Chains A and B, each alone.
Chain A
């Protein structure tokens, strides 16, 4: 067992463990914090796959921005384990159905994986920023530009909404 395998098992353990903690913890704020731990361990997995850019962008976007907003909203709503109403039977049933459907999809995806194709640990260069940039700006320039215009318009939209005095 080399150090990469060890890191893989450690990260997987943290990811799965904190995902379970996120679902089972009563307080929404704790759930958000556990989810942040999940994002960190997934970023660790990206680094093991030599996808440093993906790893750091995952942290900047998800852990650094989106989860801050989640935390912001949860803190403002002041949700507590004591005040949280117990969900009724029908909602619980719908939740189980939706979760089960997702599980089905995931299992069917995992079943189709080609086990012969080994994951490239530490060696692949698909995630390096140079390769990624070349692919984005050569093969996928149009979708890339369209999505960047979308982001820009979202940003300007935020400014305009803020301007409404």
Chain B
């Protein structure tokens, strides 16, 4: 059998994938730590400070604890699907990182390496597709648990994610009308040359932000795991590292949606008021990554800030907000954007 493969290309992409995925995992790990610290600050406590200096080894300790916990698989569950659930949740959480431009290109060993795993011309649709698959991990796990509370949590998650996907999609259409491109790289380049998209699409960003909260199952939209009515929601029956995967995938989702929001609306790896072209390519890439990470940290803090400030919605309020407020608003935003583009012949 004869296969024609560009070996250097494969190695380059493999290294990039390993770096991106492990970086996402490490950042999500420290997001769990940051969440506890932010909660502590907002509630006037100290937060975790025992493991390592300033409690910095706390996520590691949490991970080790979860690994050594007893693994319980319910007797009447379907075992393969019970394991597939958290695995899918983790997989779909990480998959989105493939199309995100993490920076411009770097120059190593005489090769220009683009800091993006795949620059496909349907980038944003790919993100949307993977996000819409994210619900399967929760649904399969909740059904396989063979537990009424789990099933209710899973059904809540499914209906919530489907409802908010609609408003999210419509707000994205308005953005696409301005950028005229579906490639995330192209969008960043446009914003680097001109203005950030947040200036053109403030309402679209607001809708997208709310939908991102709902898609990540974050408070105030964390109905699928509302512990005072559903025990643990979809992960009631899970223990050990499988539970850890579910909880962890929420933080990866948070990280990825922060990156997406930064890329779509806040210029991605564009550092404001700095001309990247005046630096060497590697330096410019470094600045770009730092700028993107700075924006992401702000979004992550916002996610946590909201969680520890705003109480949870009731389920009918959640559906009301999604269907009767966000969708009409998103439609209006789309119409207004179209009108403005038509009027100015942009």
Choose one: A52, A68, A155; the contact of B120 (CB below 8 Å). Answer: A52
Is B15 among interface residues, defined by CB-CB distance under 8 A?
Answer: no
Q: Does B151 contact A (CB under 8 A)?
A: yes
From A3, A53, A59, A162, give the contact of B324 (CB < 8 A).
Answer: A162
Which B residues lie within 8 Å of A57 (CB)?
125
Neighbour of B2 across the interface among A1, A75, A76, CB < 8 A: A1
Q: Is A19 an interface residue (CB 8 A)?
A: no
Whether B301 is near chain A, meaning CB under 8 Å from some CB there, is no
Among B4, B5, B128, point to the contact of A60 (Cβ < 8 A).
B128
Inter-subunit contact B154/A60 (CB<8 Å): no
Beyond A3-B4, A76-B155, A159-B323, is A68–B129 a contact (Cβ under 8 Å)?
A: no
A36, A68, A158: the one contacting B158 at CB < 8 Å is A68
Besides the known contacts A64-B132, A159-B327, 16 further A-B residue pairs in the complex with CB atoms under 8 A apart = A1-B1, A2-B3, A2-B4, A3-B5, A29-B143, A52-B120, A56-B122, A56-B128, A59-B133, A60-B129, A63-B133, A64-B165, A65-B132, A65-B162, A75-B139, A129-B121
Q: How far is the CB of B319 from chain A (nearest CB, A)?
A: 7
Say whether B135 contacts A68, CB under 8 Å.
Answer: yes
Confirm or deny: A128 has a beta carbon within 8 angstroms of a beta carbon on chain B.
yes
Contact residues, A41-81 vs B (CB, 8 A): 52-53, 56-57, 59-60, 63-65, 68-69, 71-72, 75-76
* Most chain B CB within a 10 A radius of its CB, from A36, A64, A128, A158: A64
Set B1, B4, B154: member contacting A75, Cβ < 8 A: B154
Shortest CB distance A151–B (Å): 11
Nearest residue (CB) in B for A56 is B125
Q: Which residues of B contact A29 (CB under 8 A)?
A: 81, 143
List of A residues within 8 angstroms of B122 by Cβ? 52-53, 56, 129
- B332 close to A (CB within 8 Å): no
Give B254-305 interface residues, CB cut-off 8 Å to A. none
Q: Does chain A have a CB within 8 A of B39?
A: no
What is the chain A residue whose CB lies nearest that of B144?
A29
Residues A162 and B323 in contact, CB atoms below 8 Å apart: yes
Across the interface, do A68 and B162 meet the contact criterion of CB distance under 8 Å?
yes
CB distance from B260 to the nearest CB of A (A): 16
B308 within 8 A of A: no
Is A164's beta carbon under 8 Å from chain B? no
Known: A56-B129, A60-B125, A64-B132. A33 touches B323 (CB 8 A): no
Q: Is A53 a contact partner of B125 (Cβ separation < 8 A)?
A: yes
Please encode chain B, from 160 to 199, with 1 for each CB lying within 8 Å of some chain A CB and 0 for all others. 0110011000000000000000100000000000000000
User: Are A59 and B4 CB-contacts (below 8 A) given A36-B136, A68-B135, A158-B323?
Assistant: no
- Whether a CB of chain A sits under 8 angstroms from the CB of B30 is no
The answer to whether A33 touches B126, judged by C-beta atoms less than 8 angstroms apart, is: no
- A107 interface residue per 8 A CB criterion: no
Give the nearest-CB partner of B324 in chain A.
A159
Q: Are B154 and A128 in contact, with the CB atoms below 8 A?
A: no
**A144: min CB distance to chain B, Å:** 15
